[in-house]
Amino acid sequence: EAGVTQFPSHSVIEKGQTVTLRCDPISGHDNLYWYRRVMGKEIKFLLHFVKESKQDESGMPNNRFLAERTGGTYSTLKVQPAELEDSGVYFCASSPQGFGNEQFFGPGTRLTVL
């Protein structure tokens, strides 16, 4: 069974540009999460989908970040326009239907904003 996949693995963009990150969860997992780790800090929660619905977006830093999960399958996280402080590693995770299940993580996307 394929794990969580993320694309791209690395992205280098200039300040002001737009970047879209993609996450494909484990097939059949209703729950999808985005987290990020900025340099020197702990991993922080960004948001949580159940199927196509946003359940919790309390961790989204500002309105430059937009997440979607069309059809309840893959998800995208768009940053527009990117700022220097957005640099970090963005992780996606998924878990089966229900509360408190183990979250399985993708390899992450390393974003560098110059």
DSSP one-letter code for 99: S
Q: Which residues pair with 88 in a beta bridge?
A: 111
Two tokens, residue 31: 């729950």
Spell out, one character per residue from 48 to 87, where the chain touches another protein: x when CB under 8 A holds, - when not: x------xx-xx----------------------------
Residues 94 and 104: beta-carbon distance below 8 Å: yes
Determine the interface stretch with another protein among 16-24, 39-47, 66-74, 80-88 (rule: CB under 8 A).
39-47
Query: Does residue 97 bind another protein (CB under 8 A)?
Result: no
| Residue among 13 and 50 whose Cβ is closer to another protein | 50
DSSP one-letter code for 84: G
